[in-house]
Structure 1
């Protein structure tokens, strides 16, 4: 798929697969991700199994726009401008989740990581419901740049792969905790925070 001109028919097919509990590999502005509908318990369990990820380790979610964030998490008023100035972009912001996040979607002390990538494909895939935003690799292994390499590493079938070729980055998003009085960068990735 052309990342600058995504095929709406293929995107709709991907959304239908996600809606039915399927798993996809999709591009973001940093790495390829494993996508599942966060409101499908079986799909979430499948993501953990595919990655070999610790069931107690939370995953982030991808949403379609800044406006949608407030439907699933609480944005502290002092950080609204920070979020507006850095999203869409290569950041995962840790916020306090609200009650719309299902009980089986593992979170860390009521916190959830939220992504709004620059990737138009990722945003369009998540415009009906949030999808998982976890890198498409085995847990603890290197994140790879092409779907072919990813498929070889995972060695499992997923329901759909959206291939835009090698991504320019093999660095993950920068993770920023906004649940404390001071901003905490938990992981420096490809994003460099603009405070203003």
Structure 2
């Protein structure tokens, strides 16, 4: 396992490319988001996805969300209608996980057999750069059932040497997980209140009144 310090405001290109190459080879990278540190692998590599479940000791009946680089990338993995896209554009990048209907190219290993997928575009330059070539998993860097750590020391204490690379951006400002919203139902439903929930509720109310 290797730890590489990275500038969260201006991520060094060489360090991002180094991390992407590890992901392309099926490796596991811990990276900063706009909420917590996450565990990332290439979502199109099923063997790597299974590593995440094993590292976290996570039930394979619980799906993993994905980190994307832009709104346009959402259309590569999921379906959005015009209202969903409007809301997404108003709140992303940000601390939200949007549950959408997945496209057929997405493995059900990732989604725990479900036809839905959780998508994130964190307001983090590191995570957006890391996922610009392909989506990566977006799940907190902790053992399932344990509190998500607030520092890299906590990440290491839980995960130890089980990952290949940690991108160290220092202590993150937010320590709440993302707000999770099911966008496939009407009305839209908040499944988990976390960072940014007030912004989503305001945006949803405004669009519901149109």
Judge same fold: TM > 0.5, yes or no: yes
Q: Distance in 1 between matches of 2:186 and 2:162?
A: 43
With normalisation by structure 2, the TM-score equals 0.90
Give the deviation of 1:154 after TM superposition: 1.7
Identify which of 79, 83, 86 aligns with 2:84: 79
Task: Spell out the pairing of 1:127-146 with structure 2 (5 A cutoff).
Answer: 127-146=132-151
Match of 2:168 in 1: 163
CA RMSD of aligned residues (A): 1.1
Q: Which segments of 5 or more consecutive residues in structure 1 lack a partner in the other structure?
A: none
Is residue 44 of structure 1 aligned with residue 49 of structure 2? yes
Q: Which segments of 5 or more consecutive residues in structure 2 lack a partner in the other structure?
A: 1-5
Deviates more, 1:72-81 or 1:88-97: 72-81
Match of 1:31 in 2: 36
With normalisation by structure 1, the TM-score equals 0.96
Identify which of 155, 176, 180 aligns with 2:181: 176
Identify which of 124, 131, 134 aligns with 1:119: 124
Q: Matched residue of 1:114: which SS? A: strand
Give the deviation of 1:56 after TM superposition: 1.0
The answer to whether the 8 A contact 2:179-2:195 is kept is yes
The answer to whether the 8 A contact 1:50-1:156 is kept is no
Give the deviation of 1:152 after TM superposition: 0.9
Give the deviation of 1:66 after TM superposition: 0.5
How many pairs does the alignment contain? 196
